[in-house]
Structure 1
Amino acid sequence: MATHLVYRLTNRGPKCTIKQVSERRPTPDKHEVLVKIHAVSLNYRDIVIANGTWPFPAKDNLIPCSDSAGKVVAIGSDVEGFAIGDKVVAAFDVATLYGPLKDWNHGHGGPIDGVLREYAAFPASVLVKIPSESKLGFPQLSTLVCTGVTAWNALYGNIPLKPGQTVLFQGTGGLSITGLILAKAAEATTIITSSSSAKLALVKSKYGVDHTINYKTTRNWAAKVNKITNNNGVVFILENGGSGTIKQSLECITAGGIISVIGFLSPAKQKDMPDVAGLALAKGVVVRGITVGNRNMLKDLVRFVAARGLERPVDKTFGFEQAEVEAAYEYLKSGKHVGKVCISLE
């Protein structure tokens, strides 16, 4: 019996336990494709699922993580369009090929087993082939799945971003840096915030962001954004803070702009909750909740990244050994990263 190595969250909560085990290697059914996983990308979601604070469904004894890239090693009898050796990524949600996610019950690494393992059998319908001209390595490719699609959805899922428009990104994590790269490729003007001047300097030198704001030293960062934009405001905001930052986001969004609510890193106390409905109405803005995106968005993103030859923002890559996987989780939790944290199985 062929086996492979798998990581499982044997205990979720403040003292979570992730354990490497040997299990039977999956075999694809007639509608599935077996993929040898070469790299996995971590997300903040993986941290909150592990520590038990994720507010949506997550199964017990879970194989964690939703984002991977690998090669096709076996193909089900009824599958067409794939060949042995194809590089592929799998969509975040197995039930959503088009349109919005209808629930949180079908996402890898939460309600269903994820990708932190050597082999995975995926429904062929959720896979996207990587174009042969792409020069990206597997860690970079793995970052396209959740972070990449979320940023793509924020910029193109409603009214598409146009050249010359201005986009604000909150923080210097993987999502913001991914969105920054996409926005720069679309010839947009970009602004990014952080509490670390060192991180802002790095993002400026490495990714070419147009404007930076340290929100720790500039408490009223919305006023600074309005000054940068000559009081026109920004057209798009990738809102990672949530209730604690959305008031200032509404103060610096342009009339008719789009705020994509993605994270909840900075929750407000109940007494400090802003009147989002009133503020949104006053400016006629769109406040969108972003729940990753569908397989078709992943396909569009892969094509765009390959056609433009865009790099992916991998900050650090760890190994697949037990100590390395635990270190990857701790590094992401520390907040020291600028970009994505990955695990390589090669």
Structure 2
Amino acid sequence: MPSQAVLRLLGHDSWEQLAEFKESVPSAGKHEVAIKVRSVALNFRDIAISTGKYPFPVKNNVVPGSDAAGDIVGVGEGVQGFTKGDKVIVTFDLATLYGPIRNWNNGLGGPIDGVLREYVAVPSTAVVKLPDSHLSYSQWASVVCTGTTVWNSFYGNIPLKPGDTVLCLGTGGVSVTGLGADYTINYKTTPKWAEEVQKITNGNGVDYILENGGSGTIKQSLEAVAYGGNIAVIGFLSPSLQHTMPDVAGLALAKGVIVRGIMVGSKQLLEDAVRFIGARNIPVPVEKTFKFGRDQVVDAYAYLASRQHTEKVCIDFY
């Protein structure tokens, strides 16, 4: 039986706990497709899982990674619409085809084994075929979580419309995927950045905010947002102590703001993002790629955790 290289996380105190194993190559079940993984995009979630800071379920000895692009190498007898050789990506949540994600039990690389391995077999319903484009495997892998999250933030509730203003906090994966910036603000040199946002917008505030700081930045986001605006809470990079937490309910009420938590998104939202990106050949930003292998992946985790990056960090298998 052919074997493959698989990375598993044996502990949750450091990404140094990653270990490489030889395991069987999976075959496609009746309603599954088997995929040769070509690239995996990393997220801050992967750092949080490896260091025990992820607030949702994680299985023991998990195969990490949730964002994969690759080629179909096997098709189950009950599968329609896919053939060997199709270039595809896999959804973050294998169970949610449309509508809101109902729990955290089906996200790859956390409660179930993920994609840092050479081959995966997944339900065909959780796979999105990619259009012809100039984008690389690493660019398409980067769309799985970050692209879906951005699309959900902008179109999952009240749709973004021409003329709206958007504030992206930081230069993490989701934020850079939403970029097309007219202005930049350095939060280190301008710690009261909400005031600067108000100056730039002539006191109107911004219509949409991609809020990835969490409890440590939500107060300034509420100060920076326009009346009737939208804040998409997509991360927890900057937590605050409980006794310093702002009155989010009161601040949101005072400005008629929608504060909406984003749990990545459904397959339908991913398909919408893929269609949009593919039709326009949007160059999804990838900064650096590392080769697949235990030591190289550890280096990739360390690079991502250093926050030196301004674009996506990926693992290539070819």
Instruction: Classify the TM-score, shorter chain.
Output: over 0.9
User: For residues 12-67 of structure 1, what are the alpha-carbon distances to aligned partners after superposition, in whole Å with 9 as ceiling and x for unaligned?
Assistant: 22475101111011011110000000000000011111111111100011110000
Secondary structure of the corresponding residue to residue 74 of structure 1? strand
CA distance in 2, matches of 1:268, 1:326: 28
Secondary structure of the corresponding residue to residue 71 of structure 1? strand
Deviation at 1:11, TM superposition (A): 1.9
CA distance in 2, matches of 1:257, 1:335: 29
Mark the runs of 5 or more structure 1 residues left unpaired by the alignment.
185-208
Matches within 5 A, 1:167-246: 167-180=166-179, 184=180, 209-246=181-218
CA distance in 2, matches of 1:243, 1:10: 30
CA distance in 2, matches of 1:146, 1:15: 20
Query: Which residue in the other structure is 1:337 paired with?
Result: 309
Distance 1:30 1:15, change over 3 A: closer
251, 257, 260: which one pairs with 2:223? 251
291, 294, 298: which one pairs with 1:326? 298
Secondary structure of the corresponding residue to residue 96 of structure 1? coil
Residues 15, 47 of structure 2: 8 Å contact kept: no
Secondary structure of the corresponding residue to residue 214 of structure 1? coil
213, 216, 234: which one pairs with 1:262? 234
Instruction: Provide the TM-score with structure 1 as the length reference.
Output: 0.90
Matches within 5 A, 1:1-346: 1-14=1-14, 16-132=16-132, 134-180=133-179, 184=180, 209-346=181-318
CA distance in 2, matches of 1:119, 1:14: 25
User: For residues 293-339 of structure 1, what are the alpha-carbon distances to aligned partners after superposition, in whole Å with 9 as ceiling and x for unaligned?
Assistant: 00000100000000111001101000012221111011001110111
Deviation at 1:269, TM superposition (A): 2.0
Residues 175, 339 of structure 1: 8 Å contact kept: no
Deviation at 1:263, TM superposition (A): 1.1
CA distance in 1, matches of 2:81, 2:270: 17
Mark the runs of 5 or more structure 2 residues left unpaired by the alignment.
none
User: For residues 61-99 of structure 1, what are the alpha-carbon distances to aligned partners after superposition, in whole Å with 9 as ceiling and x for unaligned?
Assistant: 111000000001110001000011110001000111111
CA distance in 2, matches of 1:116, 1:145: 14
CA distance in 2, matches of 1:308, 1:212: 25
CA distance in 2, matches of 1:260, 1:27: 39
Residues 15, 298 of structure 2: 8 Å contact kept: no
Residues 16, 51 of structure 1: 8 Å contact kept: no
CA distance in 1, matches of 2:44, 2:7: 18
CA distance in 1, matches of 2:172, 2:239: 18
Deviation at 1:271, TM superposition (A): 2.3
Identity %: 57
Instruction: Provide the TM-score with structure 2 as the length reference.
Output: 0.98
CA distance in 1, matches of 2:226, 2:7: 46
Question: Aligned residues, how many?
Answer: 318
Residues 89, 128 of structure 1: 8 Å contact kept: yes
